[in-house]
Structure 1
Amino acid sequence: MKVAILGAGAVGCYYGFLLARAGHAVTLIGRPALVEAVRSGGLVLESEAGREIVPVEATASGAGVTGADMVLVCVKSGDTEAAGATIASHLSPAATILSLQNGVDNAERLGAVLGRPVVPVAVYVATEMVGPGCVRHNGRGDLVLGASKASETIAVAFGAAGIPTTVSERALDALWGKLILNCAYNALSALTQLPYGRLVQGEGVIAAMTDVVQECVAVANASGVSVPDDIRDTVLALSTSMADQRSSTAQDLARGRPSEIDHLNGYVVHRGAALGIPTPANRMLHTLVKLAERQNES
């Protein structure tokens, strides 16, 4: 299968590596530094198993999706529409488009730009880029894939590549569950630059995270989304299963890059306001991260 990865950051490089190692023809579409590194030295994965390298194609152009059977869109939520515009004219009519992005509305937004369905995917993986063309895997890697004509076939291919994948008609519920995890951890990890295991040991942190979760659940329920009753326990368990992981928002702030906070806590704030549901804990975290971003710009 020919696979294109649009937005080859930590998530895209990790799944691109596994698919390439399984024998699929993978093209990474990313920043020039990544393209240069991958072309000269291959794509590198660091994990508990050691250090591995696979050869893949790489380009900075949206034309890299040409001829792809499947396109994994892994760009930041704020770049969704712009990224879609760069690939729209190059897509094969038969290509399946998957949105492996944070937030709950990217597949819908991307589909509007492309004029075709996009499959939503909830991603549960801890990864980080440790250099151009080098990704480190810190934990998990499973996916919940929205239902489509191609989803079962894709799930089998992913499973064979070492990517545990479940197909679900309720992928939106899974995305909301992931959103709640992100709202609880991302901003706090970013503002403190702490990994999850150390973060939850701070005074008042679990109580603050509980406030965030409760607000998110209220907004989700009012939006017609089903959230598990034990979602708070699931959130707190992440501090053990991904104890050494810093959030993607923390990595963005550390690198001086814009974060996705508008599509995480910010999304809950705006959705809550539209539904008449107060979200003060999420509002405070959103505000503090936006201030930190502004500080980075100065």
Structure 2
Amino acid sequence: MRICVFGAGVIGSLYAGRLAAAGHELTVVARGDRLASIEREGIVLEDEPSGERLAVRVEAAPGLDPERSWDVVIVALRKDQLSSALPELAANRVTPRFVSMINSADGSRSLAAAVGEARLSLGFP
């Protein structure tokens, strides 16, 4: 599958890393230092108890391309980050499915209004 993870914090990075390791084609939308880190090193996940490290290469992007279609966009943001991202998410009218991984049930309402209820599924981090 072609998957975009919008947000590269703890939840977004964990899902992006695991999905990429499973063979999916991943794009990760990140900003600032995190974007630079992903471009340089990929997504690096470390299991503290075992010390096992997983490093995977993914496409890193500073924003969501409004004309590019993925099979799904996973929105992995904190509720306080969502309002500034809504215009960018709403501008992409070609991706058929968005999955909300927002850390608040209320955040999904504004995301549904932006991308359309028919295109939104609720996930759980």
Q: TM-score range by the shorter chain?
A: 0.7 to 0.9
Q: What are the within-5 Å matches in structure 2 for residues 87-126 of structure 1? A: 87-93=89-95, 95-117=96-118, 118-123=120-125
Partner of 1:16: 16
Which amino acid in 2 is paired with 1:113? Answer: A
Matched residue, 1:77: 79
Compare relative contact order (CA 8 Å, sep 6+) and give the higher one, 1 or 2: 2
Where in structure 2 are there 5+ consecutive unaligned residues? none
What is the count of residue pairs matched by the alignment?
Answer: 122
* Structure 1 spans left out of the alignment, 5+ residues: 124-298
Is the 8 Å Cα contact of residues 100 and 122 (structure 2) preserved in structure 1? yes
Q: Give the conservation status (yes or no) of the 8 Å contact 1:63–1:87.
A: no
Alignment CA distance shift 1:64-1:40 (3 Å): farther
Q: Please give the TM-score of this superposition, normalised by the length of structure 1.
A: 0.39
Change in Cα spacing, 1:66 to 1:108, as seen in structure 2 (3 Å) is same
> Measured at CA, do residues 34 and 65 of structure 1 come closer, stay the same or move farther in structure 2, by a change above 3 Å?
farther
Letter in 2 for 1:6: F
Across the aligned residues of Structure 1 and Structure 2, the Cα RMSD in angstroms comes to: 1.8
Structure 1: distance between partners of 2:67 and 2:2: 9
Match of 1:67 among 57, 66, 69: 69
| Bigger proportion of residues as strand | 2
Residues 1:65 and 1:23: Cα distance change in structure 2 (over 3 Å): farther
- What is the Cα deviation at residue 98 of structure 1? 0.6
Larger helix share, 1 or 2: 1
* Residues 38, 60 of structure 2: 8 Å contact kept: yes
Aligned equivalents of 1:38, 1:108: Cα separation in 2 = 30
SS for the counterpart of 1:122 is: coil
TM-superposed deviation, 1:62: 2.2
SS in structure 2 opposite 1:68?
Answer: coil
The SS at the match of 1:92 is: coil
How many angstroms does 1:24 deviate by? 0.5
Q: Highest Rg: 1 or 2?
A: 1
Q: Which runs of 4+ in 1 moved over 3 A?
A: none
- Distance in 2 between the 1:79 and 1:113 partners? 14
Once residues 39 and 80 of structure 1 are traced to their aligned partners in structure 2, the CA distance between those partners, rounded to angstroms, is 23
